[in-house]
Amino acid sequence: MDYELRELRIGDPQEAQLLADMWNASESGWPGGWTGGIPETAERVLEQTQRIHRIAIFVVEVNDEIVGYGDMRQQFGLDGVAELDLLNVRPDFHGKGLGKALVLKVLERFKVQPIDALGKPFDPAFHQAVMQEEADNGVEPTVLKELQKGYMIHNRLLRPAMVVVSKARETRDDAGDNPEEKSPEEKSPEEKSPEEKSNDKPDEQNHSETN
C-alpha cells in the first residue's frame, strides 16, 4: 500500500476538511465514539489545530485522504520532555502498520533512531543478550533474534536491543562419542599405548601356562 507520511499543513482549509473527514470516519474506532454525536467540521478542526500548542503534527495520506494522525506536545511543567499526545488511524486502515509508522516518524523528528540489530555481530554496547542458541555461523557471536527493539537518541543509547545471540555448536571428542576411535581390542600392537600393552601381558602369560 502506497502512503505519504508528512506534517499537517496547519491553517489550510482543505487540509482541515480532510482531517474532519478522518475523525468522522474514525467514530467506531474509539470506545463511546469520538465526536460525541456532533460531526467534526473543517471550521472546528481549523480552529482547534491553530489554538492548541503542538511541537509537531503528522498525518498519513492515502489516495488524497487523511487516514492517520499523530501529534507531539511538550509535557506540562517539564522543560525538555515531550509526549505523543494523540494517535489515530481510521478503522478501515487498522492492521497495516500506519500507527507504528506515525510513532516512528515522531521519534525520528526528535532524533530517536532504532538500532539495527538483526543479523549483526553482537555488540554489548548496543545489544543485551538474554539467550544463546547454537548456530553454524562461525565463531563470531551474531544476533539471531530481536526480542525488543533498541533505540538511540542524539547518538546516545536510549535503550539496548534485547537479543538472542548465536554460539558455536559443541563437538564431542571423547572416545565413546567418536566413531573413529578404536577400542583396545581393535588396535594392532603398533597402535596400542604402553599401558594397553601392559594390560595384555597377564593374558599372554596365562595362555602359555595352559599350553
| Annotated domain spans of the chain | 4-110, 113-200
Q: How far is CA 170 from the centre of its chain?
A: 28
Q: What is the pLDDT of residues 118-157, one digit of tens each?
A: 999 999 999 999 999 988 766 689 999 999 989 887 788 8
4-110 in CATH: which number? 3.40.630.30
CA dihedral 59, 63, 64, 68 (to 10 degrees): -20
Same topology, domains 4-110 and 113-200? Answer is: no
pTM: 0.59
Mean pLDDT of 2-29: 94
For CA atoms 41, 46, 52, 53, give the dihedral sign.
positive
- Per-residue confidence (pLDDT) for residue 4, from 0 to 100: 95
Residue 22 exposed, middle or buried by CB count within 10 Å (0-12, 13-18, 19+):
buried
Q: What is the pLDDT of residues 40-99, one digit of tens each?
A: 999 999 999 888 888 889 999 999 999 999 998 876 766 666 778 899 999 999 999 999
**CATH architecture group of domain 113-200:** Roll (2.30)
